[in-house]
Amino acid sequence: AQRVTQPEKLLSVFKGAPVELKCNYSYSGSPELFWYVQYSRQRLQLLLRHISRESIKGFTADLNKGETSFHLKKPFAQEEDSAMYYCALSGAGGTSYGKLTFGQGTILTVHP
């Protein structure tokens, strides 16, 4: 079974401060990990995926297979980063391919 855990429901930081949203996963095979973001009154959208190894809006996330983690980081938070963030996992093959399992979500608030 695949499971995604986001231990923090709420996270508050001040503008310019570093931010880290934690995500841990459980999966027996090789997973694909994603971060999705939902801004206020908008739909869920993909922020980044681990296989892309890219930085989007200043955010990065590294897959740590040893710790089974995929934490989302940004060195200097901005007010417009305030949103709900979901970590998600997809199995790499078989019946799990393409199916996303979401974490509980973390509401990030960046104060001015």
Q: Which residues bind other proteins (CB under 8 A)?
A: 32, 42-46, 49, 86, 90, 95, 97-105
The CB-of-87 to other proteins minimum distance in angstroms stands at: 10
Rounded to a whole number of angstroms, the minimum distance from the CB of residue 17 to other proteins is: 25
6 to 36, 42, 79: CA distances (angstroms): 13, 21, 22
Buried b (16+ CB within 10 A) or exposed e, 15-45: eeeebebbbbbebeeebbbbbbbbeeeeeee
**Which position has the token pair 């990065």?**
60
Task: CB nearer to other proteins: give 15 or 100.
Answer: 100
Tell which residue, 16, 6, 1, 69, has the closest CA to residue 37.
Answer: 6
- Nearest distance from C-beta of residue 37 to other proteins, angstroms: 11
Smallest distance from the beta carbon of 45 to other proteins, in angstroms?
A: 7
Instruction: Specify the residue, 33 or 110, whose C-beta has the smaller distance to other proteins.
Output: 33
| Nearer to other proteins (CB atom), residue 13 or residue 33 | 33
